[in-house]
Amino acid sequence: MSATPQPGAGALRGRLRPPPAAIAILFATLIGGALVLASGANPLEAYAQIFYGALAWDNLPNTLNWATPLVGMTLAAAIPLRGGMINLGGDGQMIIGALAAAVIPLYLPGPGPLVAAAALIGAAIAAGLYAALAAWGETRHGIPMLISSLLLSYPAVGIASYVVRFPLRDTTTGLPQTALVPEGARLMTLSGPLNVGLLLIAAIALVVLFVDRRTVAGYELRMRGTNARFAGYGGVRLEAQAMRVMFASGAIAGLVGAIIVLGSQFRFIDDVLLTPSYTWSGLMAALLANGEPAGAILAGLFFAALQTGGFAMQRETSVPRVLTIVLQSIVILFLAVRHGAGKRER
Amino acid sequence: MAAPELEARGIVKRYGALLANDRVDLFVERGEIHAVMGENGAGKSTLMSVLYGLQQPDEGRVLLRGEAVHFRSALDAIASGMGMVHQAFKLFSSFSVWENIVYGAEPRRGAFIDRRAARRNVAELAARHRLAVDPDAIVGKLSVGVRQRVEILKALYREAKILILDEPTAVLTPQERNGLFDVMRHLAAEGRTILFVTHKLHEVMAITDRVTVLRDGRVVERMKTSETTAREIVQAMTGRSVSLKVDKAPARPGAAALEAIDLTIASPGGRPLVDRVALTVRAGEIVGLAGVAGNGQSELVEALVGLRRLDGGKVLVGGIDATDADVAGRRAAGIAYIPEDRASVGSALAASAADNLAMGFHRSPLLARRGLIDAGAMAKRARALIAKFGIKIAGEQAPVGSLSGGNLQKVVVARELSHEAPTLLAEQPTRGVDVGATEFIHNQLVAERDAGRAVLLVSAELSEILALSDRILVMYEGRILADVPQAEADEYRLGLLMAGRAPEAA
């Protein structure tokens, strides 16, 4: 009924506004620099070390090795987010995938590559079903997925922890870990720390991008993300969609767990998978891009580079690597502020 | 001659690049009922916000009885004797009538509210202005018409000399509307001044003394109501000649396209929202479903399209039982649906026109093959619909959130009509849509009927129901009270039915 000037004005501002991500990174760099300066170290040197540590030719494999699980978990978070849903249960799903991948090769005979493939597929299915459980709880019983996906994580972590301490413990070492996966079933090494898992995640990223841009399923998910009621009105079967999407998300999380087990640790070791908190870095990367896969993947790569560079900086200077976590947080805060401010103006 | 009661001179209000008010002059005499008319986006609401102190003008000034005033907020305006009744009422629904009316200006006795005096004052005020309300009633339990009286009393309690009524009749039955008009005349006779914002022509003709017409933020016409015609006002509003009548030939109904049998939707407590409703819409006819908002029409429509589970009864589409089909199933069986709420149900505002126009077709061979969307076909189809329906948009990739109400509605209408489904459900198809777009949509609905499709038109706008329908059903408290052929329907009879009076009494 009234004149509706806001959208037009907003579009105008949108054109004049520099890309927010770049501004957020700039501000984070300045604030982080000030922190380093205040602690008595040289910020330029710290940043140079981060940059070198992450992107120098010799260090690039480390960054990619770190990026493999992180981008994987970014995709796991981005897929539901694209449809306006949030999967907070990445930890549990990753653990289930890892455990499945560690156990299947111990009991399944056969040629190595086939066993590896079976382990990967088994991990994806187990974790996918576990994630879909959260969607089922929401659609059938009204339990908000935000809560159930997170809560389902804890029993998964706890049960896995029990399993590797008691029934499946590798009695030869005495540590809470499973027996080693037979060599034939491990993921092939590409070079240095890199293995076939990198290619697997890259392939999945391409598939996710393709599905998002070109398929009916991607269209339906995007429309759900912009307006779920509109999607439902148009005939999208929202309940089945939620189950499928959560299955896909959980399956990718499970694959990440499986890749870590079959590619670098060769067994399930309690606690080790969750320490780097790939799930949360991935979730933040996905949130930065609001679930848009290309942006999320870039953000995931950026965080991976930042974190890898942080290790190098800690080795070479007196600045602890926690600085990179601070930088990551400031970037997110700044972007969140911009989103919030934009909403209020509407 | 004395200075006008209220005067606006050269009001300019910009929102970014958009000029919402462009040097608007308004003169309102004491004791007159003055209509401010214009299409959506003409700047009526902006002007009212400026007069009432809710917005500060970029240029220009407001004068009360010849003296310049500067309202920094609505409180200043109220202190100067202005009152405004908004479209969405601003009442505390869990409080009583008198509490709502005295709120913010309570008679006190020391630190306490003098309840007895407050209640007495409210009762006296209501009696004096013939606005019958029970001061002790809880506002949430009152009908919309009575709530509106409470709003008016609230303004009168603050001794408002000038009342701004923003689309006050949108939610009323014809009888309630006539009651409001009596109150307005009485207030004007007392020497109060009323600014009446509306886009309903017959109301302007019925009650106002003078009309100021806005278009694109400018005043295009000032007229004495007695010296003008509805046609002239429409021309001033739209800048062109618009047909007010819908031309249509008699209907030739065919087979039943949509049927409901004993359709029931229970409510968590108490009376069912929809109570054993039976209805049939045949091919080639427009059936109007009239009723005051909130009598079960929305729920009935949701149940018909599959968005809501039934608690009893059946839905047949094209003669086939579709009770267990979901939305996709019902659409496949032959239902297209223009929903009441175009912004939160009928479209995705952040998505492009192409995306919006594709919804519901995205699995059809037109746009998709083996699960892959044909982006080229989607864009091409969107461009064709934009051209065919005259949607004003920068391009098919532009988001629809920036469109005006009428244009957004055209997007929804274009998409749903292009289904060419045997049955079309049109729910409030022209709500908040300007005269030009309304005319267009009405003609489209008649064209659908003439093409042999069944149309169920749900509208709170009686003039729309009367103009378009071949048969009219009236819904009251979840039940269909009457099935009236168009020839026997008039506003008075339908109005009684809408207020729940049984057909015998009508």
- Distance (Å, whole) CA B157 – CA B102: 7
CA angle A294–A297–A302, rounded 5-degree value: 125
> Is any Cβ of chain A less than 8 angstroms from the Cβ of B349?
yes
Cβ partners under 8 Å of residue A240, min gap 6: none
Return the pLDDT at B243.
Answer: 62
CB contact under 8 Å between A216 and B339, yes or no, is: no
> Is any Cβ of chain A less than 8 angstroms from the Cβ of B345?
yes
Contact A122, A99 (CB under 8 A): no
Cβ partners under 8 Å of residue B280, min gap 6: B256, B258, B259, B260
10-residue averages of pLDDT along chain B (506 residues):
86 83 93 88 86 92 92 91 86 91 87 89 89 88 84 92 88 82 93 89 90 91 91 81 73 92 86 92 96 86 94 94 94 93 90 94 85 92 93 90 84 93 94 81 94 93 89 92 90 82 57
Chain A residue whose CA is closest to B433: A1
Return the pLDDT at A86.
Answer: 95
- Binned at pLDDT 50, 70 and 90, residue A220 comes out as very high
Report the topology of domain A41-345. ABC transporter involved in vitamin B12 uptake, BtuC (1.10.3470)
CB contact under 8 Å between B44 and A12, yes or no, is: no
Residues of chain A with C-beta less than 8 angstroms from the C-beta of B42: 3
B255-334+423-506: CATH number: 3.40.50.300
> Which of the residues B363, B364, B374 would you substitute to probe the A interface, choosing the one with the greatest number of A C-beta atoms within 10 Å?
B363
CB contact under 8 Å between A5 and B43, yes or no, is: no
DSSP character for A263? I
How many residues comprise chain A? 346
Give the domain ranges of chain A: 41-345
Contact A98, A69 (CB under 8 A): no
Nearest to B372 among A215, A227, A231 (CB): A215
Nearest to A229 among B40, B345, B358 (CB): B345
CB contact under 8 Å between B44 and A1, yes or no, is: yes
The dihedral region occupied by B458, where left means phi > 0, alpha psi between -120 and 50, and beta the remainder, is beta
Chain A residue whose CA is closest to B374: A214
Q: How far is CA B13 from the centre of its chain?
A: 25
Contact A95, A166 (CB under 8 A): no
Q: Which has the closest alpha carbon to B156: B75, B99, B82? A: B82
- Distance (Å, whole) CA A312 – CA A204: 29
- Binned at pLDDT 50, 70 and 90, residue A15 comes out as very low
CB contact under 8 Å between A233 and B432, yes or no, is: no
Report CA dihedral (B101, B96, B49, B87) to the nearest 10 degrees: -130
Q: Which residues in chain B (217-256) have CB-CB distances under 8 A to chain A? A: 217
Q: Which has the closest alpha carbon to A268: A164, A154, A172, A153? A: A164
Return the pLDDT at A31.
Answer: 92
Return the pLDDT at A129.
Answer: 97
Contact B161, B143 (CB under 8 A): no
Element (H or E) spanning B182, and its range? helix B174-189
- Distance (Å, whole) CA B177 – CA B205: 14
Helical H segments across chain A, by residue range:
6-16, 20-38, 43-55, 60-82, 90-107, 112-141, 145-165, 196-214, 216-226, 228-233, 238-260, 278-288, 293-316, 322-345
Contact B469, B301 (CB under 8 A): no
CB contact under 8 Å between A1 and B87, yes or no, is: yes
CB contact under 8 Å between A214 and B355, yes or no, is: no
Give the domain ranges of chain B: 255-334+423-506
CB contact under 8 Å between B373 and A219, yes or no, is: yes
Beta-strand ranges (E) seen in B127-251 are 162-166, 193-197, 210-215, 218-224
Contact B210, B223 (CB under 8 A): yes
Average pLDDT of chain A to the nearest whole number: 88
- Interhelix angle for B230-238 vs B435-450, to 10°? 100
DSSP of B265-334, one letter per residue? E--SSSS-SEEEEEEEEETT-EEEEE--TTSSHHHHHHHHHTSS--SEEEEEETTEE-TT--HHHHHHHT
Q: Which residues in chain B (143-162) have CB-CB distances under 8 A to chain A? A: none
Chain B residue whose CA is closest to A11: B402
Please tell me the distance in Å from A211's CA to the nearest CA on chain B.
9
Cα–Cα distances in Å, from B288 out to B458, B471, B496? 6, 6, 16
Element (H or E) spanning B79, and its range? helix B74-79
CB contact under 8 Å between B337 and A236, yes or no, is: no
Q: Which residues in chain A (13-72) have CB-CB distances under 8 A to chain B? A: 13
Q: Which has the closest alpha carbon to A282: A10, A89, A60, A13? A: A89
CB contact under 8 Å between A222 and B351, yes or no, is: yes
Tell me the longest C-alpha to C-alpha distance in chain A: 77
Cα–Cα distances in Å, from B292 out to A283, B128, B188, B483, B499? 47, 29, 28, 16, 8
Q: Which residues in chain A (192-221) have CB-CB distances under 8 A to chain B? A: 214-220
Place of tokens 């030869």: A172
- Binned at pLDDT 50, 70 and 90, residue A17 comes out as low
User: In the structure encoding, which two tokens stand for residue B439, read together?
Assistant: 């005319």
The number of C-alpha atoms within 13 Å of B283 and in the hemisphere containing its C-beta is 13
Return the pLDDT at B462.
Answer: 82
Ramachandran angles phi, psi of A189, nearest 5°: -80, 140
Size of interface A-B (CB pairs under 8 A): 114
Within 10 A of A249 (CB to CB), how many other CB atoms are there?
31
Return the pLDDT at A343.
Answer: 40
The predicted model scores a pTM of: 0.78
> Which of the residues B341, B362, B412, B430 would you substitute to probe the A interface, choosing the one with the greatest number of A C-beta atoms within 10 Å?
B362
Contact B26, A11 (CB under 8 A): no
**Paired sense of beta strands B59-64 and B6-15, if any:** antiparallel
At residue A339, does pLDDT exceed 70?
no
Return the pLDDT at A1.
Answer: 37
> Is any Cβ of chain B less than 8 angstroms from the Cβ of A235?
yes
> Which of the residues A139, A219, A220 would you substitute to probe the B interface, choosing the one with the greatest number of B C-beta atoms within 10 Å?
A219
Beta-strand ranges (E) seen in B295-439 are 312-317, 320-321, 335-338, 368-369, 372-373, 423-427
Nearest to A3 among B18, B346, B359 (CB): B18
- Distance (Å, whole) CA B493 – CA B470: 16
Q: Which has the closest alpha carbon to B289: B464, B47, B496, B92? A: B464
> Is any Cβ of chain A less than 8 angstroms from the Cβ of B348?
yes
Please tell me the distance in Å from B253's CA to the nearest CA on chain A.
28
CB contact under 8 Å between A3 and B347, yes or no, is: no
- Binned at pLDDT 50, 70 and 90, residue A9 comes out as very low
CB contact under 8 Å between B347 and A230, yes or no, is: yes
CB contact under 8 Å between A2 and B404, yes or no, is: no
Place of tokens 């590559």: A113
Question: What are B49-107's pLDDT values in tens digits?
Answer: 999 999 899 999 999 999 999 999 999 999 999 999 987 788 898 999 999 999 888 88
Contact B447, B419 (CB under 8 A): no
CB contact under 8 Å between B359 and A230, yes or no, is: yes
Q: Which residues in chain B (422-451) have CB-CB distances under 8 A to chain A? A: 432
Nearest to B359 among A7, A11, A234 (CB): A234
ipTM above 0.85, yes or no: no
Lowest mean pLDDT among A10-14, A98-102, A277-281, B183-187: A10-14
Contact B258, B456 (CB under 8 A): yes
How many residues comprise chain B? 506
Q: Which residues in chain A (236-265) have CB-CB distances under 8 A to chain B? A: 236-237
Place of tokens 């896995």: A160
Question: What are A166-215's pLDDT values in tens digits?
Answer: 888 888 888 888 888 888 889 988 888 899 999 999 999 999 999 999 99
Contact B9, B61 (CB under 8 A): yes
Nearest to A223 among B41, B327, B351 (CB): B351
CB contact under 8 Å between A9 and B15, yes or no, is: yes
> Is any Cβ of chain A less than 8 angstroms from the Cβ of B394?
no
